Chains A and B, each alone.
Chain A
Amino acid sequence: MTPIRAVSPRGVVTFGRAVAIPVGRASVVVVIVTVALIVVAAVATLSLGRLGIPLADLPGAVFGGAEGKEAFVLERLRGPRLAVAVGTGAALGLSGALFQTVTRNPLGSPDVIGLSAGAGAGAAVVALFLPGVLPVPVGALVGAVGAMALLYVSTGTGFRNPGRLIVAGIGVTAVSTAFTQYVVYAVERDRATALTAYLNGSLAARSWEHAATIWAVLLVVAPLVVLVAGRLVIGEMGDEVAAALGAEPARTRAVSVVLSVVLSAGAVSVAGPVAFIALTAPQIARRLTGGPGPHLVSAALVGALLLVLADLAAQQSPVPGNLPVGIYTLAVGGLYLGYLLTREWRKGSL
């Protein structure tokens, strides 16, 4: 039982009585470095490649007015795409950090336990029954929330028990996937290809509306996350301690799960189900920052960095046909998860 000491000497930033955010020196360094890396990756995203804006012209184009080709690239192609990538990555990282903290399950992230599959089934329903009536992302949003609701009901005790969570997630995923694959089988090839590309999670051809959507979700949810952050830190000490300190563990948990699902669903609606960012970003943030605590800010920043980097790879890779970014995160995230697992097993902690 060490958490008290881990929190207090590192300093706490308070706003009134409701908000207390613990800030450690390590997290400040991590935040600064991550932000710097995001800026570097963003500059690379805007300037690399055939259509890139040359580095020398970039400050002028961004802060002054861009003209001609540069305006097109900045305002129509890569600018909105970059804004969506940063926002979606941050939302996914924050969502994963919230979920993993309250479930105390390093592998619980909404996308692993059925949210992505549910989003896919929702998108497939729209593609099959309501083509042109409803936008596919709306279907994905409904599917994602529906899958989480089904999971919540079928686990009985909420999201707490990792065994139940994984098994119920398997059930929800199985039925959603079977349906999605049926639709991919039943519609003609072009629509099947488009649907599959969307289901991988893609940032191609995003507009400023997409960016506005995800940033609006972030701006609404982030203050609420700040409100529960203090209680989450106390919650790490265990339910009894938390209850004794007035942190209402059950309510905190429920609120956090809802916020996490909203963030993930928002990300799904603008970018499709991008795999593994929500799972890995909090893990990386935790390892970088060290110590207990949910590391919400670092997780969000790491998520943004990961997605911007993955999208940079997706845009600049020599593979023909411009694969969706979700394929890159799936491959790299899968390898990282494998590394993580073998390490835990060698330590004997899993």
Chain B
Amino acid sequence: MVTGTGTPPREAGAKRPGPTRRPSFPLIGLIGLVAVVVLGLAVFASVAFGSRPTSISEVLAVLNGTADPGVATVVESRYPRTALGVFAGLCLAVAGTLMQGVTRNPLADPGLLGITSGAAAGIVTATAFLGASGQWAGVWWALAGALLAGLLVHVIGAAGSGAGLVRLVLAGAVVSAVLTAYVQAVTLGKPRVFDSYRYWVVGALGGRDFDVLGAVLPPAVLGLLVAVLLSPALNTLALGDESASALGANPALTRTGGLVAAVLLSTAATAAVGPIAFVGLAVPHIVRALVGVDFRLRIVFSAVVGPALLLLADVVGRLVLRPQELMVGVVTAFVGAPALLLAVRRMKGAS
């Protein structure tokens, strides 16, 4: 069974951290440039493609401010969801990278860590009992519920020595089960609450405005700040607890700070756009394959690759069923799950 201390548990799908050859500086610069260009293209695609077709020249005209108002309205209606996509992708990817650093746990997924059910319980409580109205007025409560549930899971799962993978997942299952029972019990009896819940729980970027972003920005900024400040300490932690202590670091403090930051970030994303699976799982692996093991680089690159992936998934979701659309949470699950199952087949060892 994985215990976190002692022998480091292996990550699913990843090879053992072999000799850490760091890519050279020009190569990193080149990868960074490519990543930024891809993100830029993803942002442009998110603004340009939608259920109502708009041509590239029309979009460029809108960006120049020379288009006719009808087209401008259509294109501008895509700004909030693009901003939310960048925001959520960044939060989930950085949270996943932090979790890998802190627990070496490859399963830093909001759904598994109680965050999704906590946010759901918050939204349902707000709309059912506290008179919150409007589709997204529950976002503050989602934030509070997710934060509480996420921290509870880590307290249960990580009590004592470092958090083992199976323990954390099971703690998440326990908290999720009880909260889900509550959510189901309330929603089944109240159609209005059920509606706001089912539109949130599918995980979508559309239908939100900038107010939602404003509500979840503070915890995300705080989490990101902690993540950046912690990244050198995470490098030290990767050497193992004893070496880290010998180098003057405080492993327990780093671990706690990293977990809190990860919970803050994934909570902010989940409260805003609903549960989105596999971004927090996949991006850290991609980034590590690209830039190596240095956490300072990994966090910066996660913040670029995560938004790019999420926006591309959203654009794909808008195009496959046009004029209807497939929510981004569904797209990421359908792409991510097969990848995870393939990774499991390559997993070695007992746990």
List the interface of chain A (C-beta within 8 A of B): 107, 112, 150, 154-156, 161-164, 166-168, 170-172, 174-175, 177-179, 181-182, 184-185, 189, 192-193, 196-197, 200, 275-276, 319-321, 323-324, 327-328, 330-331, 333-335, 337-338, 341-342, 345, 350
Contact = CB atoms under 8 A, between A and B. Distances in A.
Interface in B308-351: 326-327, 329-330, 332-334, 336-338, 340-345, 347, 349-351
B180 A175 contact: no
Given A164-B344, A196-B184, A337-B170, 6 more contacts: A154-B341, A163-B349, A174-B109, A196-B198, A330-B184, A333-B177
B293 interface: no
A168 B344 contact: yes
B156 A338 contact: yes
Given A154-B341, A167-B107, A342-B156, A107 B170 contact: yes
Contacts, number: 164
A179 B184 CA distance: 18
Interface of B: 1, 12, 107, 109, 111-112, 156, 159-160, 165-167, 169-171, 173-178, 180-182, 184-185, 187-189, 191, 194-195, 198-199, 201-203, 277-278, 326-327, 329-330, 332-334, 336-338, 340-345, 347, 349-351
Given A164-B344, A333-B177, A189 B191 contact: yes
A334 B178 contact: yes
The 7 closest A-B pairs by CB, nearest first: A334-B177, A178-B333, A163-B351, A331-B181, A175-B337, A154-B341, A171-B340
Contact of A323 (B171, B177, B185, B198): B185
A350 B1 contact: yes
B344 A154 contact: yes
Nearest to A155: B344
A185 B196 CA distance: 10
A185 B327 contact: yes
A150 B337 CA distance: 11
Given A171-B341, A178-B333, A276-B177, A166 B169 contact: yes
19 contacts: A156-B345, A161-B350, A163-B351, A168-B340, A171-B340, A175-B337, A178-B202, A178-B330, A179-B330, A181-B330, A182-B202, A184-B202, A196-B198, A321-B189, A327-B181, A331-B178, A334-B176, A337-B173, A342-B156
A278 to B, nearest CB: 14
B198 to A, nearest CB: 5
A330 B181 CA distance: 6
Contacts of A324: 188
A163 B189 contact: no
B337 A171 contact: yes
B198 A184 contact: yes
A345 B160 contact: yes
Nearest to A197: B188
B185 A327 contact: yes
A166 to B, nearest CB: 6
Contacts of A112: 173
A162 B166 contact: yes
A176 B184 CA distance: 18
A320 B185 CA distance: 10
A334 B333 contact: no
A178 B199 CA distance: 13
A154 B346 CA distance: 10
Given A175-B333, A333-B177, A155 B345 contact: yes
A74 B338 CA distance: 49
A240 to B, nearest CB: 17
Nearest to A342: B156
Contacts of A319: 185, 189
A174 B12 contact: no
A318 to B, nearest CB: 13
B188 A167 contact: no
A334 B181 contact: yes
